[in-house]
Amino acid sequence: MADERPIEDQIRFELKGSVAWITIDRPQVGNALNPPGRNRIRDLINDLNVSKQARCIVITATGEKLFCPGADLSHVYEKNRPEGVPDQVAGDPRRMMLDGQYTLFPAILDSDIPIIAAVNG
């Protein structure tokens, strides 16, 4: 089931003093990241590194049992393929996930601002 809320509601951002808070709020999928959510986190981190508004970035998630299991691949398996394309394309979900993740991980690893994961549970 797709989350119809604006991405700003799924991945919330708040600046409290010199601490930037990024909160993953997708409890219906255990806070798994869809491509727009992943891109929002990446863009927030990159923007904060340019603007220097924060001295620390905290990434957290809603709920008490889960932080983030990784990528939400449910959209990959939706039946939106063009006619004639098989349901299973070898490597397709893996490639889509890796292509996107390769843009988020460098943003985290190359950040000049320290990033902390505040894990609940």
Q: Domain of 59: which CATH number?
A: 3.90.226.10
SS3 assignment, position 98 = helix
21 within some domain: yes
15 within some domain: yes
42 within some domain: yes
pLDDT in tens, 30-46: 888 888 999 999 999 99
Are 71 and 102 within 8 A, CB to CB? Answer: no
**How many independent structural domains does the chain possess?**
1
Helices in the chain by DSSP H: which ranges?
7-10, 35-51, 92-109
25 within some domain: yes
pLDDT in tens, 80-98: 556 665 565 555 666 666 6
Separation between Cα atoms, residue 87 and residue 85, nearest integer Å: 7
Q: What would the DSSP string read from start to end of 21-45?
A: EEEE--GGGTTPBPHHHHHHHHHHH
100 within some domain: yes
Residue 40's domain spans which residues?
Answer: 7-75+90-118
